[in-house]
Amino acid sequence: MMRAIADDRLEVSKTFADEMYFCLGCLACQSACPAGVDYANLFEQARAEIERVGIIATPKRTAIRNFALNTLFTSPTKLHLLGRLLRFYQATGLQSLIRKSGLLRLLPKSLRELEPLTPTISKQFTYAHFKKLPNPTQAKYRVGLIAGCIQDIAFSEINADTIYVLQQNNCEVSLPQTQVCCGSLHGHNGEIDTAKELARKNIEAFNAETLDAIIINAGGCGSHLKYYDHLLADDEQYAQRAKVWSQKVKDIHEFLVETNFRAPQNNGGLQTVTYHASCHLAHGQKIKTQPIQILKSIPNINFKELNESEWCCGSAGIYNITQPDMSMQLLDRKMGHIQNTGAHVVATANPGCMVQINHGTKRCNISVQVKHPITLLANAYRAE
């Protein structure tokens, strides 16, 4: 269908739009394709064409997209403000009170089903943690850290663990405060121009030429960050800098394995751990063995393979918002496999997956903790 539209043999239709937004964008097809078709690029361009034509545009949909993609996720200040408001709502007990009161039944079904997916907001954002973690005096590597958006406000402790692990492996870490959203949400949802503008801002913020690596610990963000060279290929001012940027971006697991990370000597106790592969980490970045290698390096971890580990959990960016029924079918399937491992901990390296699987533990009544592999490594270093 994409080829026919590109060749002007078909016009963009609602059927085509529905098909492209029903797709997870998990890129499993890209891993499977023997011809090496760049589906990620086709997928983004197709959705951009859908938005340009406006075939599924409605006033409500346009307003929500403008607020989320072009207002909230383009401004770290506004995102932090929303995070603080949510934190107040959760910390004061208002969230629990409203959930128990039954008031949520008054909401439309779509909003009522979304509410349990609200992540718990961190007490502090990433920069507050960063200031408390002094860099080594003589470092072998100089790296920059991408704080992320949801990662920054809801999983800042994972960013703190990432900084700590890097410092334990002889890295000086910088955290530019002028960095912005990576743009993956925008790129995956047809807002290509906004994605390009965010890419330019990040290139300016980090000055990749002065760093050994730019580190990201979120699978979905990392896949897009490594794509800046393609995204800005036609930009005369930024094309060359984007090439350098894409060469320097490293997933945290990838970087640690490449630089021969130090295996910890303790982990504080026996844990049975399994691993769910983030789609964009496994299929987008082709990083499959490194997280498992890190997990198996930790003493006293009993590692259990997860059946269909590389199948999507149903989060897929905002798929659990736009396609809730299919998202929950995928989640239930994933949780069944997790339960069969008997694991105490499921490790995964993407905030969307963490939110989704955390929701799955409550939805399916499964007692398992959801942790980032780097958090387990950081805890093992601390236990020494």
Give the mean pLDDT of 115-121. Answer: 86
Q: Does position 290 have pLDDT exceeding 90, yes or no?
A: yes
Lowest-confidence range among 66-75, 243-252, 333-342, 364-373?
A: 66-75
Res 99: pLDDT: 85
The predicted-structure confidence for 241-254, as pLDDT tens digits, reads as follows: 999 999 999 999 99
pLDDT of amino acid 142:
97
pLDDT confidence band for 342 (50 / 70 / 90): very high
pLDDT of residue 66: 86
Q: Is the pLDDT of residue 208 over 80?
A: yes
pLDDT at 245: 96
HEC secondary structure over the chain: CHHHHHCCCCCCCHHHHHHHHHCCCCCHHHHHCCCCCCHHHHHHHHHHHHHHHCCCCCHHHHHHHHHHHHHHCCCHHHHHHHHHHHHHHHHCCHHHHHHHHCHHHHCCHHHHHHHHHCCCCCCCCHHHHHCCCCCCCCCCEEEEECCCCHHHHHCHHHHHHHHHHHHHCCEEEECCCCCCCCCHHHHHCCCHHHHHHHHHHHHHHHCHHHCCEEEECCHHHHHHHCCHHHHCCCCCCCHHHHHHHHHHEEEHHHHHHHCCCCCCCCCCCCEEEEECCCHHHHHHCCCCCHHHHHHHCCCCEEEECCCCCCCCCCCCCCHHHHCHHHHHHHHHHHHHHHHHHCCCEEECCCHHHHHHHHHHHHHCCCCCEEECHHHHHHHHHHHC
Most confident of 32-41, 103-112, 306-315: 306-315
